[in-house]
Structure 1
Amino acid sequence: MKTTYFSIFVITLFGLFTNMPIASEQDGKTIKAFSSESSSEALTLEAKAIAKTFSSRLKPILKSAIQSGGFTSAVEVCSSAAPEIAKNLSLETGWSISRVSLQPRNLHSAVADPFEYEVLREFDERQLKGESAQLMHYSKIVNNEYRFMKAQGVEAICLNCHGKNISGELKQKIMTHYPDDAATGYSLGQIRGAISLTKTLDK
């Protein structure tokens, strides 16, 4: 009798294991894709926060410069403060941070690389279709680097230095700091460029 019960137990156990679903290769791909998607979402949130921090640090400095010395003073401050903020943020976060444009003011730091150039062109196309620059961004993994770009739209205060009617004194100050300046002629709300962030991923 004991042998019979034991035989039944073995047969039942064998049946459970043979009917148990086995993880397929497709399951592994699904898990990997889910993990990759989650990582990308986390990186996007991190990049958005850094871009916001950059702007929140620069704006008060420019506002203070404008209040104390007008827009000519803001040009001087912006030429030094913006790169310094980007440099410090890069050290703090481990991301490479810069501002780029299709019409750069600073040829040493604001010229777009091939990836940034294509994204900026895409931003312009998206804006023509009605999308707001305020929420516009783009991200992609390229050569084991996570690339993120946040569009920068022209605000009312920006028109003083980037618009179509710049005063003679201010124009002269801009040319002094940026002799090859191309960052003028913009309209309110138009995309002037983007904050570009890059992070090297672990292999």
Structure 2
Amino acid sequence: MKLIITLGLLTSVYTQEANYSELGKKALKPLKMGLMKELKQGIKTHGVSGAIGTCQLKAPVVTEEVSTPSYTVGRSSSKYRNPKNKPQAWMEDVLKSYETTASKDSQVIRLKTGETAYVEPIYLKGLCLNCHGAKLSKSVESELAKLYPNDKAKGYKANDFRGIFWVKFK
């Protein structure tokens, strides 16, 4: 009898985690698509260095528009560019884990507050290196210094771990 109850509880926990995983993926899709759309449009209109200002203005708007009364979404990194993306306390261990393991797996996390979060790692791709890479153009360096004087988000290579996309369910 205890075995049946235990198996039932484990199945329930697994199902709940799978549901949060699916919900998290769905919640992040419009964030990722919206950010990429704004970035590409900014590059097309203003060039790479001009797109930095576009990202600074548009990324918070896209993030706010995607968040709902049921969940909030965002991005964070130990090496953040925008201080508004500084990791919340619950994210610090998650970021350290990805930094040391290079895992590509998403995670469902039960927070101390009783809330649930979903995270996906961000690994750098080619386009990202224009503003986050080890070798940046002078115009990009200049624009970053102007808009983000305390920038920590440079010096990466392709496929480096950059940070996390996250969803916090309410």
- TM-score, normalised by the number of residues in structure 1: 0.77
Larger RCO (CA within 8 A; separation ≥ 6): 2
Write out aligned runs for 1:1-203 (5 A): 24=1, 27-91=4-68, 94-107=70-83, 109-127=84-102, 131=103, 133=104, 136-142=105-111, 143-200=113-170
**Runs of 4+, deviation exceeding 4 Å:** none
**Superposition deviation, residue 51 in structure 1:** 1.7
Shift of 1:95: 1.1
CA distance in 1, matches of 2:155, 2:64: 28
Cα distance in 2 for partners of 1:50, 1:140 equals 16
| Amino acid in structure 2 at the alignment position of 1:99 | R
* Structure 2 gap ranges (5+): none
User: How many residues end up aligned between the 2 structures?
Assistant: 169
What whole-Å deviation, never above 9, does each CA across 1:16-71 have from its counterpart, x for those lacking one? xxxxxxxx455444333322321211111110122222111111221111011101
Q: Which amino acid aligns with 1:196?
A: W
* Preserved CA contact (<8 Å) 2:42 2:55: no
Question: SS where residue 186 of structure 1 aligns?
Answer: coil
Q: Distance in 2 between matches of 1:122 and 1:98?
A: 19
Distance 2:79 2:161 in 1: 10
Separation (CA, whole Å) in 2 of partners of 1:170 and 1:25: 62
Aligned residue identity for 1:137: S
5+ residue gaps in structure 1? 1-23
For residue 180 of structure 1, give the secondary structure of its aligned residue in structure 2.
coil
Q: Aligned residues: percent identity?
A: 21
Which entry has the higher C-alpha Rg, 1 or 2? 1
For normalisation by structure 2, the TM-score amounts to 0.91
* CA distance in structure 2 between the aligned counterparts of 1:48 and 1:169, rounded to whole angstroms: 35
- Which moves more between the two structures, 50-59 or 38-47? 50-59
Cα deviation for residue 87 of structure 1 reads 1.0
